[in-house]
Amino acid sequence: MLTGAEIDELLSSFDQAFPSRLRAYAMVRCLIDLGLRSSEVVKLQLDDINWADGTIKLVGTKSRRADALPLPFETGAAIAAYLHEERPATSNRAIFVRHVAPTTSRSRRRASAARQSK
């Protein structure tokens, strides 16, 4: 477990500019503020947030049931900032989407293997 000082230091590290900064910050807020597991954070969908009620729904958790948790202001603000300022346009309903495609693709692996066999 992190101490309060360590949490403060972690959260302040997102003040620096780097790619996907708002995404990373919002994900860490979900981990810290809601106590979610990383697998639960990556499964969050846009429809899981009820902005009017200030709640977030967790589906398919370890307990295998749907739970609604209060959405802390700081966490909601971090997610909203990511959605409005950094999330790429996509039809994917996941809250947190990749900003850069994976660097290893089948075609690249094949090309690399072909070069190595020469």
pLDDT digits over 42-61, tens only?
999 999 999 999 999 998 65
Task: Specify the higher pLDDT residue, 2 or 56.
Answer: 56
Average of per-residue pLDDT values in the chain: 85
Token pair belonging to 87: 């999330």
**Residues 14-36: tens digit of each pLDDT:** 887 888 899 999 999 999 999 99
CA distance 112 to 97: 28
Task: Quote the pLDDT of residue 105.
Answer: 56
CB 24 within 8 A of CB 14: yes
Type and span of the H or E element at 8: helix 4-12
DSSP bridge partners of 68: 57
Surface-to-core class of residue 75, CB atoms within 10 Å of its CB (0-12 exposed, 13-18 middle, 19+ buried): buried
Q: What's the predicted TM-score (pTM) here?
A: 0.78
